[in-house]
Structure 1
Amino acid sequence: MLYIKIQELHKRKFKVAQIAKELKISRPTVYKYLEMNFDEAKAYTEQPHGRKKKLDSYKDWILAWLEEYPHLSGAQIHDWLLERYPDLVVGGSTVRSYVKEVREIYQIEKKNIVRQYEAVPEQPMGKQLQVDWGETKQKTINKKELKLYFIAFVLAHSRQKYMEWQTRPFTTRDAIRCHENAFQFYGGRTEEIVYDQDHLITVSENAGQLLLTSEFQSYVNERKFKVHLCRRADPESKGMIENVVKYIKGNFADSRVFSDIEDWNYRALQWLQRTGNHQVHQTTKKRPAEVFLLEKQHLQPVSSLLSYESTNNKSITRSVSKDNTIRYKSNRYSVPLGTYQTNSENLVFIEVKGEEKQTLVIRKQAVGEPIAEHAISLGKGKLIQNRNHTRDRSKGIEEFKQRLISFFENQNQAAAYFDEMSHRYPRYRRDQFAIIHRVIQQYPTSINSVMTKCVVEKLYSANEFRDIAYHLHTTIHQPVQEMESLYSNPVKHSNIVASTRSLNTYTSILGGRA
């Protein structure tokens, strides 16, 4: 395509510089294609040429992404490659150069978006955290569109970021919960936190006199941080978090397909570790994750539980995931199977007991009986599961096996046979037993003979059991039917009577004498 466009413009008497400007390519590229014929240009673009490039093996993926989403940046392509190939080691400049070359060859134009950045004074370590909310529309795996909501945090000094997503608009309680999760993520809090004049946290602001919502005011009183509200229509005063929100929308969320909220939040944390907090910041020229290691020492520690929540009758709530777990301090804790219901709010109340050895108590009602208790883990990313909360998968199969054994006269033989079958096909026991059950229903009089035959011949597959049953059944019944067919007269010949002749007739024919 590029070759054809260059040749067309050249025939129209365009100069090389004009062709390069029109097609947004370099002049050496124009000279190179003008010296080729069509077959040479085709071979040049389709086959490796010169020194093999590191990203040639991933060219098909990059080209497919650019053709479907032409607006993708080199940074997004870099992140998508790392997500699909975690072991790939490649620099951002290498990816950008390669993406630029692919765009030139296949004439995939990108619409340039100019970003405006506001220079802000450098904040000391541990001084300021900026917070803002955002929303996006994402394509789902079912080809539908869903609106998602997120809250974003960024430390003003190191630019270390954090975010959480949910499928419904945020409430004040959601905001408090996410603040707590952010403090756990950072390992402490800053002296002040910067916000927009959002209805979740403020009622009004009059010449510097702040009036916060009652629930958020209680939270501020507990955590004892300063609240800094920006003036209305003044995004420059919190330009860092504004850029973070744009970064999340434009890099992480853009063109990413949504499956469920747990998976989405997990992928968001992976993106922060891989890209959001790992890539060099364009302003500081440093990696946020590396600077954060120093700033973390200047953060003020926070307790593991809010005291006002533990005494408040509203208590702390957690959402139950569809895998019947809740999240607490970066870990998952199990609840009894069936706690999650499709058409309900799926909220439970949690309480932390003890000082040295803390226990997490989970209730369906704020003052109800506990449905689960777990020792709180000090690790992160772990699943703490009570065995009583899991399905006993062996129980149903064991009952099925005992029911099959009861159909046989020699039950000890049958039990040994099914035990051996289970040993040979551990993952397909239920399927094997289901085939045996159908055989029992189809050939009930033959199953004891079939069992003996299979044990003698050491045939421990349900399919072999079925084949033996069919063979024995046909062997018993088919010969009888065949003998009956040999000695029975067909209906259409039943009235025919054979003629008889005397012995003299045959003697005369043979030339003998009577």
Structure 2
Amino acid sequence: MYSEIIRLKELGLNISQIARHLDISRNTVYQYGNLNPDEYNQVLEDMQTRQKKLDHKREKILSWLKEYPDLSGAQVFDWLKERYPEIDISESTVRNYVSYLRKEYDIPKTIHKRDHEAIEDPPQGHQMQVDFGEEKLKNAQGNLVRLWFIAFVLSNSRQKYVEWLDRPFTTEDVIKMHENAFFFYGGRTKEIVYDQDHLILTSENSGDLILTHEFANYTRKRGFLIYMCRKQDPQSKGRIENVVGFVKKNFAKHRTFFNLERLNEDCLAWLERTGNGKKHNTTKKIPAEMFALEKPHLLPVYEKLNSTCKNSITRTVRKDNTIWFMGNRYSVPLGTYDGTEKVVEVMKVQENILVISDLETKQELARHTISLEKGKLVKNNNHGRDRSKGIDKYIETVAVFFNQPSQAKEWLKKIRAQKPRYIRDQLQMLQRSIEDVDVLITEKALNYCLKHNLFSATDFNDAIDYFGKMQPKERITRFGEADFIEIKPLNEMDRSKFETKPMTRDFNYYKEILERGHIC
């Protein structure tokens, strides 16, 4: 590079031209362009002997790379900061040093990849693949509108069918659009491949698929086989994945949404013109022409089945006894979640009413007004723990300790109204304070609190302390009988000594002494 810079410089090229020609920075041209051959050789020698900033950690980093060949430079940087907090180095320096060590010691970065095998297309009329998509289009006013679509593709001919909706799909919608697709194709295949969607599948159940109730009935009537892809395995249904991407990028991108009917009409026209009318990239054949050969192999469909299922979908109950629906959480009764993947049926009975039912018994679990907001918790009052029963019982228990339980109960209810969050703590404090106190004192304290509108266990305790000091000797039980009058000790002593008082002098006496001392 040095000789090339010198050669171009001698030809009369300026710094910028040399930098562009050699694809290097102008600083590099400045640095090497002003060196003579001896100075350049010295630079090369210095580069060979120069210490790298991380050389003192070479062995440690090298051991990591040998043990974990797929380790990234960013992770090495994090490990260094974790083990040596005092180290002062940038992440780019670490990345460069890791690259240097990989080249120096021939440690290529291993990449774990999944092996894919090309397979023959299924026989004609054997398989169809189905998947769902979602896209946002601008309407005539320029606002974004969220839309949903379902796509079908015949695995042999690649003939496609797509239908759009302006709301999320329900099981009834899915069944209806299957019927529309069968009549579009003029028949059905023996097998249909699906992703694990909640509209179709309740649980994979280790291979023994549990379908949603409505879709299971539909498959029995139509008689087709179901192949369900594993979770997070889009490669196993690559044909329909490509169709969904094709619809989004070629048909939907930058399209204006006017209404649903026009969108579906435009989509059918696009399918005829492009989706099924252009040569397929993999087969190098036109799907419409290949479909003409596949159509005779489809199983006949003579009439559309009228869907008798309700406009329902399924949802999994979360640990907090809620379900997700349209971006909000809706409550179900406490205990609905049983530690398993509990699935419930969700149905809109009106435009704004959501009904949640047991999937097996069809018993209604909850009914909510659908929220138009997002991220809200919509909860029925009777779906939480009924904490009021325990508190009510506790109030009755504490009220018994008073001479007039009904009066005490009303006072305790006012404490509850003012301190609902801490009512249990208040009751515990009151119970501890009155268990071993004269009923007469507790009655006085209660009357004092009622008279001065004091609704707090702390104020009640202060009143007990006050009245307790005022009446230290005689104790009255809650039954009105004296437990004891003043107890006299067995070894009686002269109590007059307790009445002895020290002699006190008048203040003037001390004043006179101080004045005499001042005169001296």
Same-fold call, TM cutoff 0.5: no
TM-score range, shorter chain: 0.3 to 0.5
